[in-house]
A and B are shown apart, each in its own frame.
Chain A
Amino acid sequence: MSETSGTTGLLLNEPLLWERGGKGRCGFSMPRRDVESFPIEQGLVGAVPDFPELSEVDVVRHYTRLSQWNFGVDTGMYPLGSCTMKYNPKVNEKYASLPRFAGAHPYLPAQLVQGALRLMYDLERFLAEITGMDATSLQPAAGAQGELAGIMLIHAYLKSKGMKRSKIIVPDTAHGTNPASSALCGYRPIPVKSNEHGIISPEAVAGVMDEDVAGIMLTNPNTLGLFEENIRKISEIVHGKGGQLYCDGANMNAVMGIVQMGKVGVDVIHLNLHKTFSAPHGGGGPGSGPICVRNHLEPFLPVPRVVKENEAYVLSYDYPQSIGKVHSFYGNFGVMVKAYTYILSMGPEDLKKASQLAVLNANYIKEGLKGVFELPYDRPCMHECVLSDKRQRSYKISTLDIAKRLIDYGFHPPTIYFPLVVQGAIMIEPTETESKETLDEFIEACKSIAKEAEENPGLLLEAPTRSKVRRLDEVMAARKPCLSD
């Protein structure tokens, strides 16, 4: 592997914050004290928090060094399946941090925040168009919260119809948060298995659907990267018994401008602005998880809603059937700005093109790797493909070892051991922003690793060797938790 991207470079060590610094240092320009000091009841006063004492230079070096130990999309290919690690345009960051937006107080009177309200109003409509739904709420702060809000809507809707139901159908190819979200609404998840083609068959749904089932949570495209072809049929079965079809739209990046979920029987769908709509993941948030619904669910959307009255935008709480609020204010506005400017930068044709190229990239990787790793479902995939370590197991090499070796080659590993329906899963989502050259390099790296697995498995078992730290002792971390210093 002489010519790979992976190299060691020079990484500097950096201690914990409180292991550096000096007594009396402060890295903060304290605003001027231009009023006198007033007395305070001594009983109220506490000890000074034990924070470190650092100069501005100390702080800057500390975090700059830390940042260099991280791998991001800007560093290289990050094919983490189900996470849509596409390029995060720099200009979006600039717009979100414009002082006029970043400095806005959420309780300013509506006439003083028209720009923000218009942006939200327009973005709601853009997302409704992309999903083929009728209305949108931008309030959920992340995909999992959007999912929870979506199930709450179904709960509130059924209740308004006098229907009390206790179960919800969750396929084995759905995202891991689905069962937990349904439990928070008091629903018992009923698992259904995908068929030999990796998708849900209408018969399987019909077998468990009854009048005690609130609905089904379908991830489409599913976590195997396959389109749920029977979605219309499934929708008819579920609706026939009074249930609702929830779609987990985390994988919407495969079908923008190609499939409108609202037109194929979906009642409510959540989106991840930090996946499909190019907002960055920030090392685990902030995200944004809007929900789009069809007309019959609109009265239940979270409040406040942005409405237009006589050419002006206002926030309205006047929705008596609303599930209420899920966020302190209106959601992650800063993330909404990024999605809004992304959609405007792309325009309708290039959004569709993005989905087409995301699917092209995933199929190209699948073709390139199916001779290297096991491909459990050999059929056209959407935006991601799932392979496994089945062939490498005879050399005592696992998915984890392959993933760790990819790090040495300069790639972020794919999602591993998910979805659970494939043993030793390797889930690859390249996204549309990776070029053919990069994909070719990735495929070559995988081929080379597969060869190493046969000829010199120690290289994989020892990997990674070029990273800041080697494999970490996760068992010790869990057995004797040290969660603060």
Chain B
Amino acid sequence: MRYLPHTNEDVSAMLKVVGVESLDGLFSTVPEDCLKREPLNLPGPLTEWELNLHMASLGATMATMPEYKCFVGAGSYEHFIPSSVLSLLGRSEFVTAYTPYQPEISQGTLQGIFEYQTLVCHLLGMEVANASLYDGASALAEALLMAIRITKKTKVAISALIHPHYREVVRTYLRPTGYEVVELPYSKNGKTDLSVLDGMTELAAIAVQSPNFFGCIEDLGPVHERALETGAMFITSFTEAIAYGLLKNPGSCGADIVCGEGQSLGLPQSFGGPSLGVFATQMKYVRRMPGRLVGKTVDKTGKRGFVLTLATREQHIRREKATSNICTNQGLCALGAAMYMASLGKNGIRELARLNYDKAEFLKGRLRKAGLEIRFGSPTFNEFVVKFPDSFEPTYNRLLKERIVAGLPLAPYYPELIDHYLMCVTETKTKEDIDSLVRGIQS
């Protein structure tokens, strides 16, 4: 096997040094009744060539671009990724390193993550960002737990327009300890209805997503005011980071914690993961924040350098008092996001965001012209909800055969929204793609 370097001579010589007769003899401390006698029942080994063919055959069953035109977003977005980013991210010095515990020989990762933290702060208008969490969903759960720790209150309010799966994850995280989760319904305009908060006290946090799951841009100002009134922390979540190339950032709207999914920032969709949990807050909360942090310092000769810092918040220092069990982050994904933001620059990010907005508006207009109802009137970014006629399902299935995925049916997530579909258009769809979608829907 090409990954195992030992020759038979090596093995014999090493066994002699260790003082055992055979490889089996190395396991003398494992009791007899714990040892497995029969071989593992697994396939393989395959040669690299055989594996190439096998993986090609698995891949052949997958529907991806350019053959398929997928108008689905809902937390995973098709964006153009420069080859330079993919190539740089493949550098094995980044890929094959561990968490930078030895800073003198990890300055590449450390400076890269410091730059990532800075770029995230600039994108979201926040004072401090961590080195990343697993994904948008667990980032929201961690944000709520952080608010519970800070306010010492045990109830949180979350918008029903936060991604349905993020809300599922929140419930999973909060259930064992019995923290209460209140859901804020949505109103007719496709934004969160805050009236349920009337008279509600003892809240640790109010959390909304913007743009929300229906694609609508929430009014963050009034949510902030509600949070101030009730003494709750104001948390904003997001699934589409590119939106903040155009929209007011959450920091400027008073958010205490901003958390969300960074997949749009140059990461392949990869069937949902790995992605990137983005997490940012205000400096006054930094010591209560979960996740790793990189800080700037100097070496003994006075030269600038970077280290992991504020580690006392972590479990390996104070085992029983850790702020969270987060250990690894999504380091390589964070680095990729930084490469992507650096490539876009301030010139690129605004135009890219505008392009997403304009293409989605273009589709919206075409669908309206075709007589379809855009369900919610509020402004959107690159996603919106369309109501199709009752008989749309056969059309949807026919379009699948034509290699067009005409949005995400919403009924599984919002049973009242039968025949409603969430449509997404990013910069990767051409005018022609959009036109053929509309033609397909009409015919």
Contact = CB atoms under 8 A, between A and B. Distances in A.
A38 B358 contact: yes
A85 B44 contact: no
A29 B82 contact: yes
Contacts of B343: 26-28, 54, 56, 59
A104 B269 contact: yes
B345 interface: yes
B64 A469 contact: no
Given A285-B332, A468-B107, A483-B128, 4 more contacts: A36-B358, A106-B269, A108-B72, A353-B1
Contacts of B39: 257, 348-349, 352
Interface string B288-308: 000011111111110101110
A19 B399 CA distance: 50
Contacts of B408: 107
B362 A36 contact: yes
Nearest to B312: A478
A132 B127 CA distance: 48
Contacts of A257: 36, 39-40
B136 interface: yes
A70 B104 contact: no
Interface stretch (B183-191, B383-391, B424-432): B424-432
B76 interface: yes
A100 B104 contact: no
A83 B87 CA distance: 26
Contact of A28 (B48, B76, B348): B348
A63 B88 contact: yes
B82 A56 contact: yes
A180 B34 contact: no
Interface of A is mostly: loop
Interface stretch (B91-99, B199-207, B225-233, B369-377): B91-99
A29 B3 CA distance: 39
A281 B97 contact: yes
Contact of A85 (B98, B127, B217): B98
B43 A347 contact: yes
B180 to A, nearest CB: 14
B30 A259 contact: yes
Contacts of B344: 26-28, 51
A240 interface: no
Nearest to B328: A285
B119 interface: yes
A102 B4 contact: no
Contacts of A404: 104
A115 B94 contact: no
A332 B270 CA distance: 8
A180 B315 contact: yes
A22 B321 CA distance: 47
A130 B178 CA distance: 35
Contact of B104 (A107, A178, A345, A472): A472
Contact of B400 (A91, A109, A473): A109
Interface string A45-62: 111111111101001101
10 contacts: A16-B114, A49-B244, A72-B94, A105-B269, A141-B330, A142-B327, A285-B329, A328-B163, A344-B43, A484-B114
B88 A64 contact: yes
Nearest to A417: B316
Interface in B12-32: 13-15, 17-20, 23-24, 26-31
A160 interface: no
Contacts of A67: 88, 91, 93-94, 108
A428 interface: no
B33 interface: yes
Contacts of B20: 380
Interface residues of B, number: 198
A115 B61 contact: yes
Contact of B44 (A343, A464, A484): A343
Nearest to A99: B64
B104 A31 contact: no
A93 B301 CA distance: 39
B172 A282 contact: no
Contact of A179 (B96, B322, B331, B351): B322
Contacts of A481: 286, 293, 295, 309-310
A403 interface: yes
Contacts of B178: 186
A283 B293 contact: no
User: Quick one: which of A106, A257, A341 has the most chain B CB within 10 A?
Assistant: A106
Interface in A157-210: 176-181, 183-186, 189
A314 interface: no
Contacts of A38: 357-358, 361-362, 365
Given A103-B268, A325-B172, A119 B58 contact: yes
B439 interface: no
Contacts of B196: none
A177 B327 contact: yes
A470 B362 CA distance: 56
A378 interface: no
Contacts of B274: 141, 285-286, 332-335
Contact of B138 (A177, A326, A347, A360): A326
Contact of A328 (B63, B169, B315, B333): B169
A78 interface: yes
B315 A30 contact: no
Contacts of B417: none
B152 interface: no
Contacts of B95: 72, 74, 88, 93, 280, 282-283
Given A184-B325, A346-B44, A105 B379 contact: no
B154 to A, nearest CB: 12
A456 interface: no
B134 A142 contact: yes
B398 interface: no
A469 to B, nearest CB: 4
A380 B138 contact: no
Given A344-B54, A347-B44, A433-B5, A473 B298 contact: yes
Contacts of A372: none
A348 B177 contact: no
A356 interface: yes
A69 B100 CA distance: 12
A48 B350 CA distance: 6
Nearest to A86: B3
Contacts of A341: 51, 55
A115 to B, nearest CB: 4
B23 to A, nearest CB: 4
Nearest to B47: A345
A229 B96 contact: no
B45 interface: yes
Interface stretch (A143-151, A290-298, A389-397, A447-455): A143-151
Nearest to B352: A30
B135 interface: yes
B34 A231 contact: yes
Contact of B328 (A51, A287, A344): A287
B428 A115 contact: no
Contacts of B166: 328
A418 interface: yes
B121 interface: yes
B78 interface: yes
Nearest to A260: B36
Contact of B431 (A35, A354, A361): A35
A459 interface: no
A442 interface: no
A354 B42 CA distance: 15
Given A346-B45, A474-B297, A286 B108 contact: no
Q: Which of B5, B51, B136, B327 lies at the interface centre, i.e. has the most chain A CB atoms within 10 A of its CB?
A: B327
A258 interface: yes
